[in-house]
Structure 1
Amino acid sequence: MTATMHKGIFFDVDDTLYDHLTPFRGAVQEVAQPADSFPYEAAYHRMRYYSDRLSEELGGAGAAAYGEAVREMRVRRFQLALAEFGIALDEKQAEAVQRVYHERQFRIEMFDGARELLRTLVEAGHIVGLITNGPEAHQMNKIRAMNLGDLIPPERLFVSGAVGWDKPDARIFRHVNEATGTRPEHSYYIGDSWRNDVVGALAAGWHVIWFNHRGVKPESDHEPHHVAASYKELGELLARLGCV
């Protein structure tokens, strides 16, 4: 059987394979020490919004300007996000939040059922891989922290900082198809971000499964093909689609 006859099934990393809110919550608690009622999840979503926006302004993780300004961008996103919730961080405080957040990102516990589903898909013969935004070394450290090397070979790990295009740019998905011998009509993308994952993969002609485990609302008129809120739901969905 040729590669084009297999399904290509690719996953996002942050907040799709593991809970990205956990390091955010821990960093804000440790440094800013907000009230017990602080809306961490809402603030987390705003941090990711500013992270995407500021990264786009720099030209994406593959751009020369990104590497030169990434430290300032990462600090600034915390200042902008937390300011919306009444927490004004000076530069030193914002740097401290970013430092703790960075350290905690490598203490990763995958979502329940995530590793098992990846293994099932690999054993079923599909082309299984990851597509993630960010600097190559940073994202690869997370992938290593999840011990995914026994499941996904290096040639199926696509990091925007190395590839040269950030999601939602459809070119990164087209590059994945070319590099793996898969076709858009046989490719599935699973991710939590509406802006990056849903919009980007749809633009490339892929089947899109929105991993909406936080129960957020769509941000545009785009329509993912399927929605799942847990790995149990995702596994059942992929079974109905004939993937497992």
Structure 2
Amino acid sequence: MTYKFIYFDLDDTLLDHQAAEQAGLSEVHDHFDLFDETSKEKLFDTYSEVNSDQWRLYSLAKIDRHELQRNRFEQTLEQLGLDNSRYEEVGQFYLSTYRKHWQWIDGAKEVYEKICKHYPVGILTNGFAETQQKKFEDFELNNTARHLVISEELGALKPDPRVFEHATKVTGRSASEILYVGNSFPSDVEGGNAYGWNTAWYTQNGEAEKHKQADFVFNDFRNLSNYLNI
């Protein structure tokens, strides 16, 4: 298959969101005496569970982004048995520290830049618009990607087909000519497949049945480069 356009997911595909999240939460833990009796691991695990559920509700339009931002720290503190009235200051501090720890996934920068020389590329991402825009600027993705699509600006989140419809339309290509590189099975692989895109799944996941649903599965960006013969 000769692809005519390649889209990349951003968080945990090109950029290591999980590492930045944990580093930000580590700083939160050290900064607030609120967490003196709580281990970092407990904070990480509780926040991860709460945050994932809040993003799920947000994607289903059951809460808005302001409720998501409030709930993820208010509920984390509540579940930890801590003073949840301090959710706002904790959340604001987290965002300020999270941004300091953004970095490329190992090997992604070199392969992404190589692909940009051979294919027109774009970024298609969920996430808060202002945060994602800042990442585009910090990593100069606005200089290399022809289209930067943030689902929040469209009023829907992946895997909503409206997101893929818009992202397809702006390329001027048909869905079957697009390859989407992403890490999320439901958002990227299932969402892309459902709209007729080809998908490359970046994962450490060993579930063979899920692997069959992607056109290509890889856990090292060098393998993606080999797959595209560049």
Query: TM-score normalised to the size of structure 1?
Result: 0.76
Aligned counterpart in structure 2 of residue 164 of structure 1, from 131, 138, 155? 155
Separation in 1, partners of 2:97, 2:82: 20
- Counterpart of 2:214 in structure 1 is 224
Q: Quote the offset at 1:48 in angstroms.
A: 4.8
Amino acid at match of 1:31: V
Partner residue of 1:234? 224
Aligned positions of 1:1-244 closer than 5 A: 7-32=4-29, 33=35, 34-35=38-39, 38=42, 40=44, 46-58=49-61, 66=64, 70-80=65-75, 87-107=80-100, 108-124=102-118, 126-153=119-146, 156-213=147-204, 215=205, 223-239=213-229, 244=230
Residue 131 of structure 1, CA deviation: 0.5
Superposed CA deviations along residues 183-233 of structure 1, whole A, max 9, x for unmatched, are 2111111111222112211111111111114x4769979822222112223
- RMSD of aligned residue pairs (Cα, Å): 3.0
User: Which stretch shows the higher mean deviation, 5-14 or 172-181?
Assistant: 5-14
**Larger displacement relative to structure 2 (115-124 or 10-19):** 115-124
- The Cα of 1:149 is off from its aligned counterpart by 2.6
Greater CA deviation, 222-231 or 186-195?
222-231
**Structure 1 counterpart SS, 2:226:** helix
> TM-score, length-normalised on structure 2?
0.80
Kept after mapping to 2: 8 A contact 1:10/1:189: yes
- Cα distance between partner residues in 2 of 1:29 and 1:142: 21
Instruction: Identify the structure with the greater helix proportion.
Output: 2
Q: Read off the aligned partner of 2:39 and give its amino acid letter.
A: A
Q: Percent identity?
A: 28
Shift of the 165–58 alpha-carbon distance from structure 1 to 2, 3 Å rule, reads closer
Output the CA distance in 1 between the equivalents of 2:98 and 2:49.
18
Structure 1 unaligned segments of length 5 or more: list them. 60-64
- Whole-Å separation in 1 of the counterparts to 2:92 and 2:186: 26
The total of aligned residue pairs comes to: 221
